[in-house]
Structure formats: C-alpha cells, structure tokens
Structure 1
Amino acid sequence: MTVIAMIIAGGRGVRMKNHTPKQFLHIFDKPMAVYTLEAYEKHPGIDEIEVVCLDGWQDVMQQYGKDFGISKLVNVTRGGADGQSSIRNGLESIASRHNDHKDEVMVLVCDANRPMVSEQIIDDCIRVCQTHGNATASVPCATAVLHIGDQALVEMPQQQALSSQTEVPRHELRLTQTPQAFYLDDILDAHHEAEARGITGAVASCTLYAQIDRPIYFSEGSDKNLKLTTPDDIDIFKALLVASDPEQYVQKFRQKEME
C-alpha cells in the first residue's frame, strides 16, 4: 500500500487579514505550510506528499520543498475555486500517477494550516482507515452549542444580535480536523457521485461523504491540532512552539523582535 499526504494549500486566508495567503506567512523562521510539510515528511508511514496550491504560488511551494528538504514532495498541483474542487484536482493528479492500483493507495487529505499535527494523530488516522475504509481526525465537543439556523447568512442591522432558543447536545457532536484518510478509488468515486448529484462547495471530504450518505469513521485528533485561521491562532501557535522548545524559540522570538 502507498500512503500519500495530500496537503491542501489552496485558500486565500481572508480571515487572517493579510495580503499574503496564510499558508505562506512566515512564523519565526519558516512559512506556516512548511511546518505541516515537515510533519508528514518525518512520518515513517507517509510515502509521498502532494500539495494542492493556490494558483500562482506553485513555484513558491516547489521552492519550499527544495529549501527545507521535503524529499517526499512529488508534485504541486493547482487548486480549484473552492475546497471541494481543490481536493478533486489533487486526487486526479495522484490518480494519474497511480491509475493501475487506485485501490492500493491511501490518501490523507490534510490542511496546510494545521502545523501542529502529530505523529500519533497521523498513526491513528491510517489505522482507522485500514480497519474501516476511511478516517477523520476528531475531538469531542467540550463547549455549549446553540443552533442559529441561517441567521449568519443574512446581513443584519448593527444594533441587532444573533439569537437562539435551541441547544444542540454536545455529546451528539464531534469536531472534525485533518488528516482525513480515504482509499483513492473510494474518494474519487465519492467526488464523481457528488458531481452527478449536483453537490458543490463541500467544505471538507468528511462533509462530502455525509452529503452523499456515506458513513465517516473517526480517529483521534487533539486540541493542539489547531487550524490557523486568524491572527489570534498564530499567537497560540507561537506560544505552543515556545513551550515545546523554549531555548530554541525564545531566541528566534527575540531575533524577530529586533528586526
């Protein structure tokens, strides 16, 4: 079996409020996406890395592979208009290299902006996929959740506020992360079925499966497996890096402050 990490780096990162797409922002001494690439590069169970990249930034990503020693990086392909189409582009690129044995290829769909993914999370995702046919890293929901319907989609006057009268019991929920693992032939078939049914704009592979009524199995995630979406998330990530190796990162932080 061939195990491929497919890193999705196709977003523009509007919520990061920066002209540079978030996956290319430098945090201490390297771009955000490189931390993620290094996690999969170091994992002994990963054979190849495919990156699906924001159009126009492919050469930059290829250069990262050379500069930071990402030897498993075999291809950088163009992202699509949204997450669903970007994932499909990456899958089709992988299929073009492994067309004769798609049932023997496992693909881990991974967010480029989850740089704290651990070896244990990757291990469990692969294990659950081998046992059940797919796997999505997840954690229990530990906070109160209220349902607001489609209020957030409607522009409201500034003096009004969103409201709810409906609790969603948190024991019924799982918060999904990446990696999300699938066999190549199965996830390609899921994308073809979704396209035939007119399903577009799925925000993740696990939600695509849910929309076409296919079961999703959960592997273990972690609260540290952060998705860096806002400037606050980057501050938390920096703090975790410093805590993981104070001597190394405090020095880098001081150097950055002096620039």
Structure 2
Amino acid sequence: MKKYAIIVAGGTGSRMGSQTPKQFLLLRDKPVLYYTLKTFFDAYDDLQVILVLPVDYTDMGQEIIDAWFDQDRIRITAGGDTRFQSVKNGLELVEDESIVFVHDAVRCLLSTNLIHRCYEQTLETGSAIPALASRDSVRIVSEDNSDAIDRNTVMLIQTPQTFHSKLIVPAFQIDYKDKFTDEATVVEAFGMKVTLVEGEEQNIKLTRPIDMFIAERLLEQSVNA
C-alpha cells in the first residue's frame, strides 16, 4: 500500500515567544522539522512526504530538504488559515489509494515504532489515532461552575493520525466547522468511527519554551543510550 505523510508545519508558534516558527528552531544544532522528517523517512523507504508550510517560510523548508533529504520524496504545499485548510491542501497532493499519516511537524520525538503501529492498525480498521490516558484530574468548566469527571474516560490525543485515503480524502470535502480540532473530528463528522492506538509519552508537541528544554534532554538521552 502506498504511504503518504502530510507533515503540518503551517503555524507561526506565537506561544513559543520566538519570531521564528517553532518548526525551524534548533535542537542539537538541527531544526525541529529535521527530526520529524527523518523519523518518517526511517520508518518506510517507500513513504512520500507532503510538507505543509507557511507561504513565507517555504524557502526555509526547502533549505532543510536540500541539506539533508532526498528531494524526490518530498513535495511542499502552502498552509491555510486553519489546520483543516492546511491538511486539505496537503490531501490535494495524494494521488493514489494509500495510507495517509497526518502529523504535527513539532511532534519531533515520535518513534518509528509508533508509525508502524499506526500503519498496521489502519490497514485493519481504516484509521489509527494515537492516544494516552490522562494522568491528571480533569474538570469541565462552564460559565459559573466546574465539574469533575472521571479521568479514566479521558484520552489525550496525539499524531500521526492515520487513515486510509478512502476515508480521509472525501471527509475533507465537507464544510469546515470550529469543532474540527484534528483530523479525527473531521472523519467522525463525515460519519465514520476512528480507532485509538497507544500513543507515546515522549511524543510531545513543542508549544512553549519548556518543551524545547525537555526535547533537548530527550534527544541527548537517545543519543547516549
């Protein structure tokens, strides 16, 4: 089965407090985006990447590709105003029946094992959504109150959210809604169920400066292991 990874790097990263989008910040002298791309390429020799970038940063993305990767395995497209539109732009480059991974560029610490597990589950059920059980207490907040809920019923969702192209491509033809926070919510709105798989603790999303510090330490541990 053909494989595509849509790497979504369309954000600006305002919460990181940097003028440079966080996917281009350096970890151990390489951009965050480098580690994400390398892991997907290491996972499968026949995988093609569709890299979704902010229009103003396509040149910077191309420089990373030129420096470290096979240009024949990567295509770049422009990000949209929303994640939904960015992923939709990426899906327009999916040309064959395939398994499609959609992954946050700034989740650069995922493993090839997670990619493989998502692929195998998607072959079986049509989708695979990495998730971790919540370890914290959880409350639902309303205008004038908050209510505790059973944390055992709460799952924290990660990427790569993985789908058969027959599910995700038509799903993204529906009209955008504010509740579409990820690809799973889009596919569910299209009328399809999704399958959860075990995520990874280290598969963190780099959002704030403390996340960069944690990622640096985790990369050091992996190098020294």
TM over 0.5: yes
Matched with 2:89 is: 89
> Partners of 1:190 and 1:116 in 2: how far apart?
28
- CA displacement at 1:165 relative to structure 2: 3.2
Root-mean-square deviation (Å):
1.9
- TM-score, structure 1 normalization: 0.81
Q: Summarize the Cα distance change of 1:222–1:38 in structure 2 as closer, same or farther, 3 Å threshold.
A: same
Counterpart of 2:121 in structure 1 is 128
What residue is the counterpart of 1:182 in the other structure? 163
C-alpha separation between the residues in 2 aligned to 1:72 and 1:170?
A: 45
1:228 matches 2:203: no
User: How many angstroms does 1:45 deviate by?
Assistant: 6.0
Counterpart for residue 192 of structure 2: 214
Classify 1:45/1:139 alpha carbon distance in 2 versus 1 (closer, same or farther; 3 Å): farther
Q: How big is the shift at 1:131?
A: 0.6
- Deviation, structure 1 residue 70: 4.2
Cα separation, 2, equivalents of 1:19 and 1:62: 19
**What whole-Å deviation, never above 9, does each CA across 1:202-256 have from its counterpart, x for those lacking one?**
2210122234442110122111111101000001001111222249xxxxxxxxx
Task: Give deviations 1:94-116, integer Å, cap 9, x for gaps.
Answer: 2xxx2xx4xx2111001100111
CA contact (8 A) 1:10 1:53 kept: yes
Runs of 4+ aligned residues of structure 1 deviating over 2 Å after TM superposition are: 69-74, 198-201, 209-214
- Pairing 1:107–2:100 present: yes
TM-score normalised to structure 2 length: 0.93
Q: Contact 2:167–2:187 at 8 Å: present in 1 too?
A: no
Higher alpha-carbon Rg:
1
The equivalences for 1:5-154 within 5 A come to 5-44=5-44, 46-71=46-71, 73-94=73-94, 98=95, 101=96, 104-149=97-142
1:205 aligns with 2:180: no
SS at match of 1:116: coil
Greater shift, 33-42 or 64-73, is seen at 64-73
Q: Secondary structure at the match of 1:175?
A: strand
CA deviations over 1:26-52 (Å, ceiling 9, x no partner): 122111111101101111265211101
Structure 2: segments with no counterpart, 5+ residues: none
Identity %: 29
Equivalent of residue 220 in structure 2, options 242, 248, 252: 242
Query: Aligned in 2, Cα 1:189/1:180: closer, same or farther, shift over 3 Å?
Result: same
SS at match of 2:106: coil
Structure 1: stretches of 5+ with no match in the other structure: 152-162, 248-259
Cα distance between partner residues in 2 of 1:70 and 1:27? 21
Q: 1:211 to 1:63 in 2, by over 3 A?
A: same
Partner of 1:214: helix, strand, or coil? coil
Q: Distance in 2 between matches of 1:189 and 1:45?
A: 27
Question: Shift in Å at residue 71 of structure 1?
Answer: 5.0
